[in-house]
Amino acid sequence: MKKFALAAVVACVVATPAVAQDTAFSGPRIEGIVGYDRPDADGDNADGIVYGVGVGYDFRRGGAVFGVEAEASDSTADECFSGVTVATDELCLDAGRDFYVGGRVGAVVGPRALLYAKAGYTNARARLTYEDGTAATAPDFSISDNLDGLRVGAGVEFAVSPNAYLRSEYRYSNYEAGFERHQVVGGFGFRF
C-alpha cells in the first residue's frame, strides 16, 4: 500500500508542471497600461502619454492562445499650432478618452512568453478648437466628437509568475474624419 501511495504522489508531482504549462496564458485577466501616444488629425499631430485599464479572457489550446479584451484609456496629448491661416490664429488638437473592445490570437514561445496580434473596434473622443486671434475676422470654433475606428496591434506578454505578467505592445488606430493614432504601451497585469 505504501508503494502505491508513493507512486501516486510521484505521478502527481511529475504531472503538475505539464498541467501548469497548459494553463499559462489562460483565464480572466486585469491590467494597467501606460505608454506613448501620437494622435494625428489630417497631418497635424500631438505627443502625449496614454494610460488606462484593461480586462480580458484568454483560452489556450496547445501552443495557441485566443482571447477577448476591453480597455478604457485616456491621453495627455494636446497640441496647438499657430499661423494656420493667419499669423495670429491657433488650432489645437486634444485627444481624449478611448474605449476598445476586440480579440487577440497568439502563440506561446517558451514556457513564459506569448507573441500575439490583436484587432477590434475603438471609439475615441477628440476635440479640435480654432481661435483666429482677432475679434473681427473669422469666427472661433470648437468641435468635439466621438470617432469610431479600427485598432490593430501586436505585442509580447511575459509571465513573471503563474498569476502576474508584463506586456509590451504597439497598436495603430484608424478613426473616421481623418483621425488616427500610434501608441506604444507597456502593461502589468494579473490572472485569476
Question: The cell 506569448 sits on which residue?
Answer: 114
Task: Dump pLDDT digits (tens) for 127-161.
Answer: 878 877 766 555 677 777 899 999 999 999 999 99
Domains and CATH numbers, the chain: 25-191 (2.40.160.20)
C-alpha neighbours within 13 Å on the C-beta side of residue 106: 29
Task: Dump pLDDT digits (tens) for 65-119.
Answer: 999 999 999 999 988 877 666 677 887 878 889 999 999 999 999 889 999 999 9
Return d(Cα 14, Cα 2) in angstroms, integer.
18
Residue 14 binned pLDDT confidence (cut-offs 50, 70, 90): very low
pLDDT mean over 35-43: 88
pTM here is 0.79
- How much is the pLDDT for 79? 81
Closest CA to 143 of 177, 172, 110, 186: 177
User: Which of residues 22 and 26 earns the better pLDDT score?
Assistant: 26
User: Which of residues 177 and 105 earns the better pLDDT score?
Assistant: 105
- Secondary structure letter of residue 7 according to DSSP: H
Within 10 angstroms of residue 113's Cβ, the number of other Cβ atoms is 16
